[in-house]
Structure 1
């Protein structure tokens, strides 16, 4: 018990809110504050993704022109996923597909799958001695189709400026099921600008296409917003620890992302330096965003047997001088 405060939320805590108006009307949001610098918004109606992230008052992530969009507006057709791509700090891509729309073994798959537009069926949160913990369960299931369940835990430290995302994906059906996941983490202004220092200590970098290959030597160099900019994607391979970081020298703040590259073996750097579409994606996943058909042909597609579970953990640490 702290004798100086009347309510625990003076220092840290979790509050639930609902949006009013616009396409986000009615969406459930959890506002987390760890009392040492991190403020985070978790969108329970969007797979418990992280829609906003601030550190010591500075915005760290990109919020797209779509703004908040409730699941009811989701359109699975081709690339219409982009019409509800809030981005935020984290948008989860998958579970049936990641990347380009395609047809894989007769199944029509939309851009980046549908999990990010599914609400959590169950969610609860509590405070441990040294952390705020949010748990959510999201079902990606249908009759005559896949039966996958995502159990997500987000744990925000109360003593260190860091948090972890731990996902357990389970095949609750009776057939072997392909699955993909990509942690689409989106850096935005003022953390991101032309002076930002980006480090990705990979052992191999591959350009997604010829357009990206033309400028591969500058893949870690950020630029000013440019009209008509065409996105560039780079695929990174790691040995040992997977890591990527971004640091804003003018604000003396940044963040670092850590993951196991043996499990999440498809890291993507998405460089988009457009006007208002100004974002850097630092995205670890178990595949590349080329479509599930391409991943199947390459041998990179992952599967879950009936009853099998797979767990992934991503750690995000704030940086400051």
Structure 2
């Protein structure tokens, strides 16, 4: 912030801002809280707030995922009605492996670390424990119900430029005796005056057995950023797969209707074309171009992409889902050789950005840039 930046309608340097308040957290900062009621009781959270009005809740005890997210008080992160459920209430194998649906809430719910997509029983002989010949997975794995260890939460100031970011870092270990021993380290950053969320994930095998790795981001956008007429803009080469409900309901993947009573979720797997920077980029854009959300990520780390339409009344949302694997899932990945296997000390890196688009100029510029990479089917 060596050069003046706009804060609350004024052009101010960091020094000028400091002259006007004895505590910069009046403008932007990080607050650590503990949720204390209902199913959320006992969940640690970090509340990040920028001078541009971006607010993000990082749920320390829910795998360092993201809860509520707003820009100037307007929500863009989806709320399902589940609440940010304490992990102690979670039973991984409940409801035929679908208990993950009771934890699905907020802007980001991460799937992994050794399994994503639908559940099932897969071979576990690589762990060398005779009583454990196989392992049973539920929907999107075990990660969601594991609390993180908080490593860092502070403002970082570049001494040369005065530029400032809000940074939080956490690590989540998914481990069992005679099984996987994987660690996720997540670094989340927001610029002091910014309107985007950036995070970098590293997944490392701490164990000494060859271990499968699958990873998926369930990025959930809700009303009013999802509404009747909202459009998905994406550089789609082709749609590889769609759920049976698409043929039955025939709701477009491109343009959303209003909420529908009894809507059955629709899921698409789109093959995206990466930009010159090696990143995939998609956006949800309001019908009148007044607002939008753009998501970009490293195509090398997560080459696959799903669109989840949950347009049912009372649950109205769209999920944008970068993934390491095709929709076929765990067993198919093992069979066709696409499963990622990590040896001891091996790691995978992931880089993702969510940018809130504010006003017609930004929204149209984002859509035009995406379309310039590749068009999309009707």
Query: TM-score, with normalisation over the residues of structure 1?
Result: 0.95
SS in 2 for 1:95: coil
SS at match of 1:193: coil
| Contact 1:43–1:49 (CA under 8 A) maintained in structure 2 | yes
SS at match of 2:40: coil
Q: 1:45 deviation in Å? A: 0.3
Q: Give the corresponding residue for 2:50.
A: 34
Structure-2 separation of matches of 1:218 and 1:147: 41
1:249 Cα offset (Å): 4.4
Residue from 146, 149, 152 that aligns with 1:124: 152
Q: Is the 8 A contact 2:232 2:253 kept in 1?
A: no
Is 1:107 the counterpart of 2:135 in the alignment? yes
Distance in 2 of aligned mates of 1:237 and 1:229? 25
Equivalent residue for 1:89?
A: 107
In the alignment, which of 158, 165, 186 is matched to residue 152 of structure 1?
186
Q: Partners in 2 of 1:216 and 1:176 — Cα distance?
A: 43
3-state SS of 1:212 partner: helix
| SS of corresponding position for 1:192 | coil
Q: Secondary structure at the match of 2:102?
A: helix
Which string of whole-angstrom CA distances, capped at 9 and with x for unpartnered residues, describes residues 282-312 of structure 1?
0111113443112222433212111101100
Q: Structure 1, residues 202-232: CA drift from partner, whole Å, max 9, x if none?
A: 2121233333255678211111111111111
Detail structure 1 runs of 4+ shifted over 6 Å in the superposition.
none
Q: CA deviation at 1:139?
A: 0.4
RMSD: 1.7
| 2:216 equivalent to 1:182 | yes
Which consecutive residues of structure 1, in runs of 5 or more, have no partner in the other structure? Answer: none
- Equivalent-residue separation in structure 1 for 2:271 and 2:86 (angstroms): 35
Residues in 2 aligned to 1:253 and 1:298: alpha-carbon distance in whole angstroms = 41
Per the TM alignment, residue 318 of structure 1 is displaced from its structure 2 partner at its CA by 1.5
Match status 1:239 vs 2:251: no
Which residue matches 1:59?
A: 75
C-alpha distance after superposition, 1:51-97 (max 9, x if no partner): 11111221002111211200001111111111222x21000111121
CA–CA distance in 1 between the matches of 2:288 and 2:151? 38
SS of residue in 2 equivalent to 1:52: strand
Hey, what's the Cα distance between the residues in 2 that align with 1:50 and 1:209?
27
Task: Find the partner of 1:307 among 340, 345, 360.
Answer: 345
Q: How many residues align?
A: 320
